[in-house]
Amino acid sequence: MVIDENILISAGAETRHYTPSETIFCEGDTCNYYYQIIKGQVKLNNYNEEGREFIQNILSEGESCGESILFIDKPYPMNAEAITECIVLRLHKSLFFNLLNQSPELYMEVSNFLSERLYYKFVMMQNLSSQNPSTRLKGLMDYLKSFQKDITPYSFLIPLTRQQMASLTGLCVETAIRTIKHMERDKILRIENRKILY
């Protein structure tokens, strides 16, 4: 979901800069702001008791993070961490709700976007329940490609590293790499200059 930058700034949003690995918000923090990424990539993640990272999602320019928590009185269930240099617009919760109340169209856009995110969670849960690594990776790639108009084979460049794909699907990176090579042999995807085309 992209809310026009000028609308956010005129509503009182401030520009924040983050360096790679810098935290935007932490699991357990109170949700006080709407965040929209203007430049860079952000990952939503958790760590288990052994300190192993589980990536929930990777977001980039024009996407927002943690917005669904604004609507309920709960702390963040995940961290948001900059992957690259990031510029993020941050709008206080009260100003965000003022903005939505003044614009029913924007309210509908936000509702639509939240529904998309919920759909993604269901699709990913379904794929993650499979023991087959190929099913997990194909489910992730199908979802990412579903936002493109061109659905012909090999028309979509996967915007993730193999490590990120492994983390998003709960696989170890070696299994992800091996499975991607098998998928190429089976003509499910194509690899060109180490990039994955799906």
CATH number at residue 151: 1.10.10.10
Residue 64: per-residue pLDDT? 93
Say how many domains are in the chain.
2
Nearest to 36 by CA among 75, 66, 71: 66
**Do residues 152 and 89 share a domain?**
no
**Do residues 105 and 24 share a domain?**
yes
CATH number at residue 43: 2.60.120.10
Residue 153: per-residue pLDDT? 93
pTM across the whole model? 0.81
Lowest mean per-residue pLDDT among 31-35, 105-109, 145-149, 193-197 = 145-149
Q: What are phi and psi of 23, to 5 degrees?
A: -85, 135
Confidence label for 52 from pLDDT (cuts 50, 70 and 90): confident
Q: Are 136 and 183 in contact (CB under 8 A)?
A: no
**Do residues 177 and 85 share a domain?**
no
Residue 119: per-residue pLDDT? 85
In degrees, to the nearest 5, what angle opens at C-alpha 168 toward C-alphas 167 and 170?
60
Task: Give the three-class secondary structure for 150.
Answer: coil
CA 163/CA 170 separation, integer angstroms: 10
| Residue 41 structural domain | 5-123
Average pLDDT over residues 98-126: 88
**Do residues 100 and 142 share a domain?**
no
Q: Is the pLDDT at 1 greater than 70, yes or no?
A: no
Tens digits of residue pLDDT in 149-184: 888 999 999 999 999 999 889 899 999 999 999 999
Nearest to 117 by CA among 127, 129, 125, 106: 125
Task: Give the three-class secondary structure for 76.
Answer: coil
Q: Among 77, 100, 123, where does a domain finish?
A: 123
Q: Is the pLDDT at 86 greater than 90, yes or no?
A: yes
